[in-house]
Amino acid sequence: MTDGQKRLPLDSETCAEDPESSTPAPANGRAADRLQATGDGPLKKLVDRNFLQYASYVIRDRAIPDLDDGLKPVQRRILFSLHENDDGKFIKVANIVGFCMQFHPHGDASIEEALVALANKQFLIERQGNFGNLLTGDPPAAARYIECRLTRMAREEIFNNDLTDFVPTYDGRRKEPVLLPAKIPLLLMLGAEGIAVGISTRILPHNFPELLEAQIAILSKKPFHIVPDFPQGGLMDADSYDDGRGHVLVRARIDKKDSDTLVIRELPFGATTDSMTSSIEDAARRGKIKIKSINDFTAGNVEIEIRLAPDQSQDRAAAALFAFTQCQVQVSSRIVVIHNNKPVDMTVQSILRHNTSRLVKILQRELLRRKKKLLEEIHGRTLASLFIEHRIYKKIETLKSADEIQEAVRQGMQPYRDQLNRDITRDDIEKLLNLPIRRISLFDFNKNRGEIKSLAKELKEVETDLEAMVPYAIRYLRGLLRQYRSEYPRRTKLKTFGKISERELTKNELTVNYDKKKGYIGHKVEGSQLVSCSPLDRLLLIWNDGRCKVVSPPEKLFVDASLIYCAILDRERVMTTVYESDFFTYFKKFAPGGLVKNRESRFAPKGSKVLFFADNDPSLLYVRYSEDERIKIRQQKFSIAHQPVRGRDAKGLVLTANRIEYVGSVKARNWNDEMNGPPGKFIDSV
């Protein structure tokens, strides 16, 4: 059982409580309290039952497409309405909307919106008038001004009243199809999006000829690979598509017009020229890309011209467009469909295999019906030929009652039973009796025998196809390919994208300064420069009392005057510190590790004083002790190259109990020198 089946049982008759059964009224107040406490009262049952019925209806009859014909109910009703009114001419959309309301129990707005969306996919509905623009996002004209009709593909491939089951409409006045006998994989061709109660689906559109080729591969038992194709074009990386359970990355196609101009020629799925220019302008305001101007010249094709600033390289600008605007979008896919009246999770391959199996069954049913019609036609022509050739009509000239006439014809045809496909019925005799005299007198036996021979030849071909349905289905699919391959080329080109590092693109975007007098740091603070960084970076702050903290690059943050270090956080970087605590001096090597953002931590105990700090791993420490009569050795060299790296919270190792005048990783020329670290990291000497 799939996740979709587990998530929501949709058989309301078995899942809902029986409305006729109700909990007996409690005998006393205490029982009523217990009933209320358990929440199992009549109101809860009523709400549960009604909500389940509502959820089932929304899932099955509104938002989620059916696996068999790939359509939502409103789409199926629109196509059926067009089929019922199809005379080859264009019909006003408003008329189709009105006709469709006989089948659809909701408002006309939802029908019109669904019709326009279906027509803009350009597979099943031919348009005339302004149906909006997928590229610019412009809305369509009013339904009374635009017209539509079925395409040739829709007429030939998705309708067959002989193979369609019908049910009464919501008011019982008409009949509507349960499913359409579609012979093409509409679900993957059109794509679908829908949100129901607790369930959503997003099926990406695919290329029609590629789907046909995949179906041929399925019937030939060969492997195949299918990825989406979007009407807007663009470039696509489908490495993470995972057969419809993952996502694809889609990019705009950007060309270089001249040394300082980029032109967007194709859009990614879901973007419009308006949303694209807005996202680029927003990125420019945030300083992500430097541009002089942006102009939209889109008419029949997309053309958005971007003039770059003189100091902006085209390659970096294109990378910034992909990183910070709608020029690159991630489109997720999650396939949930209705199958056997329940929502199920599926993959692209499983859907296509089901569609292919259904295609074979539909073709087989069509052949069986064609065989039956051919047999009936051969039977009728043979009957007429025998009836006229042997002048059986002469035997009824003197008869008066209908029963006598029926029996006379039956007896007259009996000697020729072996030339017929089946026994003669009363309807057969009625057809013979209704033959006009003119046809009898002018009957052409040679022509009739030729037509019977032609029908028999066609019948033999149908029987041959029925015995080999798979080859017949393959020939049918190849015929569709020859007919439609040139009309539906792939629009979205496949390409593997290199990873764009937003951090790398913005690595020097912010300059963090320090105003030591006021105790503030930030990229909007006037003062000495500390570090250039990206907005995506995290800064490690170190104070001389052993505190440390990780923050995002701030606009303005108070840190007081005891800050000694500020740099981009590197969790694995080994750091070295020497600090005084409780009459002893300790040293420690440690890595910052995982620090919680905006929360102070410590690498030295509370009350400590940091004497030395370095964001590297020196091999030696030079120590100069304060003057003291008890100390004979005033300076020492400590080798710490092989000392282990300890945890940030671990206590350091005792270095000395003497008071220290100077400690550093290099030997100072005189003991009053201050040790300054690399520019932009160390605030002051420790």
Q: What is the DSSP letter of 160?
A: -
| Type of residue found at 149 | R
* Span 194-236, pLDDT tens digits: 888 888 899 999 999 999 999 999 999 999 999 999 999 999 9
Q: Which residue's entry shows tokens 């005379």?
A: 87
**Would you say residue 470 has pLDDT above 90?**
yes
Which pLDDT value is given to residue 449? 87
| Type of residue found at 199 | I
Q: What is the DSSP letter of 60?
A: I
Virtual torsion, Cα 552, 555, 558, 559, nearest 10 deg? 40
Q: Which residues contact 287 (CB under 8 A, 6 or more apart)?
A: 509
Contact between 633 and 660 under an 8 Å Cβ cutoff? The reply is no
Q: What is the mean pLDDT of residues 476-486?
A: 95
Contact between 592 and 581 under an 8 Å Cβ cutoff? The reply is no
The tokens of 489 are what?
Answer: 């080329």
Which pLDDT value is given to residue 681? 57
Q: What is the mean pLDDT of residues 642-666?
A: 87
Least confidently predicted of 3-12, 81-90, 294-303, 526-535: 3-12
Q: What is the CA radius of gyration of the chain?
A: 41
Which pLDDT value is given to residue 27? 43
Contact between 581 and 604 under an 8 Å Cβ cutoff? The reply is yes
Residue by residue, DSSP assigns 334-369 as B-EEEETTEEEE--HHHHHHHHHHHHHHHHHHHHHH
Which pLDDT value is given to residue 18? 38
Which pLDDT value is given to residue 228? 96
φ and ψ of 85, to 5 deg:
-105, 10
Q: Which residues contact 608 (CB under 8 A, 6 or more apart)?
A: 545, 546, 579, 580, 581
Catalytic choice (145, 170, 565, 586): 145
* Mean pLDDT for the chain overall: 86
- Give whole-number Cα distances, 170 to 29, 103, 104, 108, 609, in Å: 45, 7, 8, 15, 82
Of the spans 9-13, 60-64, 184-188, which averages the highest pLDDT? 184-188
Residue by residue, DSSP assigns 453-497 as HHHHHHHHHHHHHHH-HHHHHHHHHHHHHHHHTTTS---SEE-PP
- Give whole-number Cα distances, 270 to 228, 236, 319, 329, 351, in Å: 14, 13, 20, 9, 24
Dist CA 378 CA 26 (whole Å): 76
Q: What is the mean pLDDT of residues 102-119?
A: 93
* Span 294-336, pLDDT tens digits: 999 998 899 999 999 988 888 889 999 999 999 999 999 999 9
The residues that bridge with 512 in the sheet, in sequence order, are 531
Dist CA 74 CA 205 (whole Å): 19
Which pLDDT value is given to residue 673? 41
| Type of residue found at 465 | D
Of the pLDDT bands very low, low, confident and very high (cuts 50, 70, 90), residue 682 is: low
Contact between 623 and 556 under an 8 Å Cβ cutoff? The reply is no
Residue by residue, DSSP assigns 570-612 as -TT--EEEEEEETTEEEEEEE---SPPBT--EESS-TT-EEEE
> Which of 344, 261, 429, 280 lies closest to 6 in space, CA to CA?
344
Is 472 one of the annotated active-site residues of the chain?
Answer: no
* Span 483-540, pLDDT tens digits: 999 999 999 999 988 777 777 788 778 899 999 889 999 999 998 888 988 888 899 9
Q: CB burial class (10 A; 0-12, 13-18, 19+) of residue 226?
A: buried
* Span 543-557, pLDDT tens digits: 999 999 999 999 999
- Give whole-number Cα distances, 464 to 168, 220, 364, 600, in Å: 38, 19, 12, 82
Q: Is 172 left (phi over 0), alpha (psi -120 to 50) or beta?
A: left
Contact between 680 and 530 under an 8 Å Cβ cutoff? The reply is yes
> Which of 145, 154, 150, 152 lies closest to 92 in space, CA to CA?
145
